């Protein structure tokens, strides 16, 4: 208790989001300021359906408080959905901009699914200006992000947790090279060849310099690695022996953008992450089979690696179901679009 109170007081008193900015969480993978611009609009006008609950003094302090989640769900998820969760809190709870980083405290995909499956909380979610920590015993209600991988689906089944997955927006799973690399397009077969180890130098895919390919990938269990394994490879085995493993998405992008032999590097990410959360002017997004990952090509399905981001909750959680049903509604999809994502329904346009 004393350690938790100290950490909480430090976070509030010194404006440090202790957990939110740890390297193990999503904020360690973001280098952009996620504030709204002047074009922002209030879409949710009746905010009575989802609100925070009762506030009580924090044990051992007369200036700090702990607050029930009330009817607003506890949300965890993938780094790429942090701005979406911020927009939802902005709309429903009217939080100050300076409070959103502490309130949206994502742990990244594998940890979020572990919490959802096992009924664990997302700890140290704070509302800094109010001296509030949200109830850190309340289990995660919703995961926003990429879908669970096979291991996570099996873990949920073993725990008796039926996961309901509702798509809320589109994104593109994209392949990245350094701007010095002249290659602008790869076929799906060439990508599988590179990552299976069958294609080992750039000369085999059109670069006259023919440097040896340095193919970066992510650890098993990350959201991008799940897409790579299940969407791209289509049964072929990833060659981890000759590839490079990047712990975080930011690390992967930095290695491709800044690596000494960067013209030889290739990696993958999500388009929203590359364009909005961790920017590097030294990267190029490749087209695949001649198709670029434009919003139009995502909606039509023309881009071969079009993906959904989901709102995932456990069957039987009625409050989470209500919130996700709203998120899929016209009003919810308008919020998705305002956060910069491609909504799954025309109602969000």
Helix (H, G, I), strand (E, B) or coil at 323: helix
**pTM score, whole prediction:** 0.86
Same domain, 296 and 195: yes
Is there a contact between 176 and 253 (Cβ–Cβ < 8 Å)? yes
pLDDT tens-digit series, residues 23-51 = 458 888 787 788 888 899 999 999 999 99
pLDDT tens-digit series, residues 136-185 = 999 999 999 999 999 999 999 999 999 999 999 999 999 999 888 889 99
Is there a contact between 79 and 106 (Cβ–Cβ < 8 Å)? yes
Task: Quote the CA–CA distance of 281 and 283 in Å, as a whole number.
Answer: 6
Is there a contact between 44 and 86 (Cβ–Cβ < 8 Å)? no
Tell whether 144 is covered by a domain.
Answer: yes
**What's the domain count of the chain?**
2
Give me the percent of the chain exceeding a pLDDT of 70. Answer: 88
Q: Which two tokens stand for residue 171?
A: 């994104």
Query: CATH number of the domain that 255 lies in?
Result: 3.40.190.10
Same domain, 95 and 230: no
Same domain, 145 and 80: yes
* Closest listed residue to residue 146, CA positions, set 268, 24, 31, 238: 268
- Domain carrying residue 282: 171-306
Same domain, 154 and 199: no
Q: Tell me, what DSSP letter sits at residue 121?
A: B
Tell whether 19 is covered by a domain.
Answer: yes
Same domain, 296 and 250: yes
Residue the block writes with tokens 């490879």: 233
Instruction: Output 296-305 pairs: Cβ under 8 A, ≥24 positions apart.
Output: 298/170, 298/171, 298/172, 298/342, 299/170, 299/342, 303/172, 304/188, 305/172, 305/173, 305/174, 305/227, 305/231, 305/232
Say what the pLDDT of residue 18 is.
37
Tell whether 49 is covered by a domain.
Answer: no
Same domain, 111 and 142: yes
Same domain, 201 and 222: yes
Task: Quote the CA–CA distance of 248 and 259 in Å, as a whole number.
Answer: 15
pLDDT tens-digit series, residues 239-284 = 865 557 776 767 677 777 765 557 888 999 999 988 888 777 688 9
Which residue(s) pair with 54 in the sheet? Answer: none
Same domain, 159 and 177: no
Give me the percent of the chain exceeding a pLDDT of 90. Answer: 60
Same domain, 159 and 286: no
User: Quick one: pLDDT band at residue 328, thresholds 50, 70, 90?
Assistant: very high
């Amino acid at each position: 208790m004393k350690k938790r109170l100290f950490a909480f007081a430090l976070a509030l008193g010194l404006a440090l989001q202790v957990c939110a900015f740890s390297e193990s969480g999503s904020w360690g993978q973001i280098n952009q300021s996620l504030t709204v611009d002047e074009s922002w609009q209030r879409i949710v006008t009746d905010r009575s359906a989802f609100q925070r609950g009762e506030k009580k003094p924090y044990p051992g302090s007369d200036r700090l408080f702990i607050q029930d989640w009330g009817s607003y769900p506890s949300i965890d998820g993938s780094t790429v959905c942090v701005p979406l969760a911020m927009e939802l809190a902005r709309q429903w709870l009217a939080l100050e901009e300076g409070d959103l980083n502490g309130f949206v405290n994502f742990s990244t995909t594998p940890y979020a699914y572990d919490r959802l499956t096992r009924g664990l909380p997302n700890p140290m979610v704070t509302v800094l200006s109010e001296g509030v920590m949200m109830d850190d015993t309340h289990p995660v209600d919703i995961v926003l992000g990429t879908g669970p991988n096979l291991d996570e689906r099996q873990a949920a089944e073993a725990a008796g947790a039926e996961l309901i997955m509702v798509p809320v927006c589109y994104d593109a799973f994209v392949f990245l090279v350094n701007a010095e690399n002249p290659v602008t397009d790869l076929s799906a077969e060439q990508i599988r060849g590179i990552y299976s180890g069958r294609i080992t130098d750039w000369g085999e895919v059109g670069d006259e310099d023919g440097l040896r390919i340095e193919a970066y990938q992510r650890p098993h269990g990350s959201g991008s690695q799940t897409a790579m394994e299940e969407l791209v490879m289509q049964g072929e085995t990833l060659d981890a022996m000759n590839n490079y493993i990047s712990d975080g998405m930011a690390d992967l992008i930095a290695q491709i953008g800044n690596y000494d032999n960067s013209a030889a590097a290739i990696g993958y990410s999500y388009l929203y992450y590359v364009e909005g959360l961790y920017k590097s002017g030294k990267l190029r997004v490749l087209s695949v089979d001649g198709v670029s990952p434009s919003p139009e090509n995502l909606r039509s399905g023309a881009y071969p690696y079009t993906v959904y981001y989901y709102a995932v909750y456990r069957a039987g959680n009625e409050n989470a179901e209500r919130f996700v049903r709203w998120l899929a509604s016209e009003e919810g999809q308008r919020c998705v679009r305002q956060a910069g994502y491609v909504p799954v329904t025309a109602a969000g346009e």
